[in-house]
Structure 1
Amino acid sequence: MIVSRIEARRDEDTVAAGPLIGRLLDGLPPEAVLTDPDVTASYAHDMASFCPAGAPAVVVLPRTVEQVQHVMRTATALRVPVVPQGARTGLSGAANATDGCIVLSLTGMDAILEINPVDRVAVVEPGVVNAALSRAVGEHGLYYPPDPSSWETCTIGGNIGTASGGLCCVKYGVTAEYVLGLDVVLADGRLMSTGRRTAKGVAGYDLTRLFVGSEGSLGIVVRATLALRPKPPAQLVLAAEFASGAAACDAVCRIMAGGHVPSLLELMDRTTVRAVNDMTRMGLPESTEALLLAAFDTTDPAADLTALGALCEAAGATQVVPAEDAAESELLLQARRLALVALEAVKGTTMIDDVCVPRSRLGELIDGVERIAGKHRLTIGVVAHAGDGNTHPTVCFDAQDPDESRRARESFDEIMALGLELGGTITGEHGVGVLKKEWLAREIGPVGMEMQRAVKQVFDPLNLLNPGKLF
């Protein structure tokens, strides 16, 4: 009887919603096909500002590779665009829906399929949350290093789509360096495997790297083989206060030139420190113009921090305070992880830039951001993965004020232009999405754009996968 009622409801939905919903229900259970406009609207966009989003025709929640293949075959047959999504924590509009699209939410494919301590790999589905994977491999004495600030909620599939980074990039690198192989459903529904699970391998073109950072525009990642490392010792953190951003950046240059390899090297400016204090009451030093956080996860982190602290003092640090234990270290790291949330609370809305410059020019970027903030009469806080030159100037503004919104967008663009002038890139880890399409063309030039579009044409000739993103 229950089965009959489900079949009857399915038939009614098919008649009411047309061929798309009916065809999707031929290969998906009813609970995996969402059509209520109030529900589908909640899947329309990620966390980026100033990025248009359309109204999806349907949201599908597949649980298996075969179901993803069915969705793509249906989309190809009916010429319906598909927007892949993870947890929608992105900051460039890459997961934003287009009108009439199928939103393909992969959060239900969240199984950790294998953790192998001998091969030092994990095999996971795309909906696995980053922090959940980190904790699971930790139980085996292993470590998955990429740790975006949203690691408690972001998914591995989303991390792969945007080639995301994190706080530990200075020592351990970014997501692309840990993706060994992928299973990908192509636009026409075929399943392709790329890469390997061996420690090394150079057979053919590196299609795995091609998919990492492609923002769902070339195929749907349904399984990933990820490299793991041995779990390092607990890290100790040092906080150094500086009277200027330039002095803090000088310390960064001294640290890197000295051959030190901290597990973390992060910068927070005065605006950011005050915002974190206002939100958390952590008692961070508000008298500082720049707070540098450094950490080591070596066998003797205290000695390494002592050497690094001396370099900070030589660069003009007004105070250097090493954490006494892991708990104090974690408190400092939590302050850094909350920085972007705290800045959003300043005015209610933020535009988070993602400019990466050579480390040697980090100070010039920070000084330039301060000038841009003054010019546009805006609050712009800067947090940075200082060890690799990846900065997040965060424009705080009132979205209900049209003039302030205009100035926010202008300042955002000027920061990207400054990054390019300094020999940098418009995005170090957030991706292009909708927000930076114009700037991608400026960075890579007409020939580069021609080649990018040619690659897209090979994998997605009907332009069904995440159309309107990247270019």
Structure 2
Amino acid sequence: MSRVLLGLLREALSERVDTDPQHLQNARADKSGHAAAGTPIAIVHAASIADVQSTMRIASETGTPVVVRGAGTGLAGGANAGAGEIVLSMRGLDRILEVRPDDLLAVVEPGILNADLNRALEGHGLWWAPDPASREISTVGGNIATGAGGLLCAKYGVVRDAVLGLDLVLADGRLLHLGHRSVKGVTGLDLTSLVIGSEGTLGVVVGATLKLRRLVPGQARSLTASFPDVRAAATAAAAVTASGVQPAIMELMDASCLRAVHRLLDLPAPDETAAQLTVQTDGPAASVDAEAIAVTLAEAGGTVRLAADDAEADLLWRVRRSMHPAMETLGTTLIEDVSVPRSALPAMFDEIARIEREFDLVIPTVCHAGDGNLHPNFVFEGDEVPDVIWRAADELFRAARRLGGTLTGEHGVGALKRRWLVDELGEDQWRLQREIMRVFDPQGVLNPGKVFAP
């Protein structure tokens, strides 16, 4: 069957079909530390919508599973491809097709990197708000597939808030144009929002109409506050939220994270138990808001410092954005992604401390404190996640749900969290969502084994 399939793919797509053994091995894994079982059949490097349609028609005709892949920077195994599967790489579709400053929108292909898009938009005085820590290496298509958030989403929302429309190739090769270019639009069901966060199970995103914002240069202030422990920092973050002042970014790093990043960047070692909040304000009231937040953090017991200039502010954010590379120096990392109501952050950090004691683990945790999204890191040796870590992760997910939260805020379910999905959704909603997926993909060729797999 593989030989016949490869013949069909090569006849339709010629040099776009890649069977290089190393490339196939690379497509098995992402940044989660998880790798799919077996080796995929081939990678199709799509360069046009027609390439995507041809691939999906062949896949549907032969009943061959397809895994859509961008930059491979996911953290839940959602784009990992294994035995008997075609990898459909979207990295070659990386053009900006249109920028309309008057309408505050851009039309782009999915393979463009998040940071490259914003560098291009800067010349138009515009920017796209979704701001994952992986912005330099993650694609816009991947951001859409996972419903990504990032550092700025406390104020500016997540990907779902920044997409007006999508071009979607269905499993059988048909092309749909979802959404609209207008600010408002309520005709029919909102299929654009349904596709966002669907992790490649409903169709292949081949274009996106994005909602942009105007750049306001020079209106940002950054500050940092050090606390004796992570619970004190979490309590202070909750106090900022309760104060009514809206930071653009508010990030929390616990002591283990902070020490690892300081080692990586060759910075002076922090105090053994110190946790750090880093905050940015923006807009016309940036300075006033920064001063007000500084007062709140000081009253909560923090040692506060406002960045004196852009260079100091850049260093503060370099520390935060170096979190993942710092974790990679410690071993293989399973990066988790629970979210809780912001007022529950101190309680969630209490739960993480309890889990550390019960399972004899150290769980370095970074947190988008402005929206209650925590990223606990489980570090281990080797390629397979040890059973003790899965048991600890299970307890972590249950704790987040007890506090009114969810098992994933922005990384998605992928392959790693599917076993817990029905626990959160409930049996009826889980079955309904599976039925919706089958309407889009009756044969189940799109990303099988991910998200809604039994």
Shorter-chain TM-score bucket reads: over 0.9
Could you tell me which residue of structure 1 aligns to residue 8 of structure 2? 23
Which residue, out of 418, 422, 429, partners 2:399? 418
Which residue, out of 320, 330, 352, partners 1:369? 352
Could you tell me which residue of structure 2 aligns to residue 155 of structure 1? 139
| Separation of aligned partners in 2, 1:147 and 1:356 | 17
Contact kept, 8 Å, 1:233 with 1:297, in 2: the verdict is no
Could you tell me which residue of structure 1 aligns to residue 409 of structure 2? 428
Contact kept, 8 Å, 2:229 with 2:255, in 1: the verdict is no
Structure 2 portions without partners, runs of 5+: none
2:112 is aligned with what amino acid?
V
Q: Note the 1:394-405 alignment, pairs <5 A.
A: 394-399=377-382, 405=386
Query: CA 1:184–1:295 in structure 2 vs 1: closer, same or farther (change >3 Å)?
Result: same
Could you tell me which residue of structure 1 aligns to residue 337 of structure 2? 354
2:335 is aligned with what amino acid?
I
Which residue, out of 264, 278, 292, partners 1:293? 278
Query: CA 1:261–1:467 in structure 2 vs 1: closer, same or farther (change >3 Å)?
Result: same
Structure 1 portions without partners, runs of 5+: 1-15
Which residue, out of 412, 415, 431, partners 1:450? 431
Q: CA offset at residue 17 of structure 1? A: 6.0
- Secondary structure of 2:370's counterpart equals helix
Contact kept, 8 Å, 1:273 with 1:286, in 2: the verdict is no
Contact kept, 8 Å, 2:281 with 2:289, in 1: the verdict is yes
Q: Note the 1:212-227 alignment, pairs <5 A.
A: 212-227=196-211
How large is the RMSD of aligned CA atoms in angstroms? 1.5
| Separation of aligned partners in 2, 1:245 and 1:48 | 25
The structure with more radius of gyration = 1
Which residue, out of 289, 313, 328, partners 1:304? 289
Q: CA offset at residue 282 of structure 1? A: 2.7
| Separation of aligned partners in 2, 1:440 and 1:54 | 25
Q: CA offset at residue 301 of structure 1? A: 2.5
User: Are positions 1:274 and 2:255 aligned together?
Assistant: no
Could you tell me which residue of structure 2 aligns to residue 42 of structure 1? 26
Query: CA 1:433–1:261 in structure 2 vs 1: closer, same or farther (change >3 Å)?
Result: same
1:383 is aligned with what amino acid?
V
Could you tell me which residue of structure 2 aligns to residue 12 of structure 1? none
Contact kept, 8 Å, 2:93 with 2:112, in 1: the verdict is yes
User: Are positions 1:380 and 2:351 aligned together?
Assistant: no
User: Are positions 1:257 and 2:242 aligned together?
Assistant: yes
User: Are positions 1:338 and 2:316 aligned together?
Assistant: no
Relative to the length of structure 1, the TM-score reads 0.93
Contact kept, 8 Å, 2:224 with 2:278, in 1: the verdict is yes
Could you tell me which residue of structure 2 aligns to residue 10 of structure 1? none
Q: Deviations over 1:9-52 (max 9, x none)?
A: xxxxxxx962211211232132x101233331221121213453
Q: Note the 1:81-230 alignment, pairs <5 A.
A: 81-230=65-214
1:259 is aligned with what amino acid?
G
- Secondary structure of 1:154's counterpart equals coil
| Separation of aligned partners in 1, 2:211 and 2:73 | 23
- Give the stretch that moved more between structures: 243-252 or 171-180: 243-252
1:70 is aligned with what amino acid?
S
- Secondary structure of 1:357's counterpart equals coil
- Give the stretch that moved more between structures: 244-253 or 282-291: 282-291
Contact kept, 8 Å, 2:71 with 2:91, in 1: the verdict is yes
Q: CA offset at residue 54 of structure 1? A: 3.2
Q: CA offset at residue 357 of structure 1? A: 0.2
1:90 is aligned with what amino acid?
G
| Separation of aligned partners in 2, 1:116 and 1:284 | 47
Could you tell me which residue of structure 2 aligns to residue 13 of structure 1? none
2:257 is aligned with what amino acid?
T
Q: Deviations over 1:361-404 (max 9, x none)?
A: 1111111111211222222111000010000011122237x8x8
Could you tell me which residue of structure 2 aligns to residue 391 of structure 1? 374
Return structure 1 stretches of 4+ with deviation > 6 angstroms. Answer: none
Contact kept, 8 Å, 2:144 with 2:159, in 1: the verdict is yes
Relative to the length of structure 2, the TM-score reads 0.96
Give aligned-pair identity as a percent.
Answer: 45
Q: CA offset at residue 300 of structure 1? A: 4.2
- Secondary structure of 1:380's counterpart equals coil
2:226 is aligned with what amino acid?
E
- Secondary structure of 2:72's counterpart equals coil
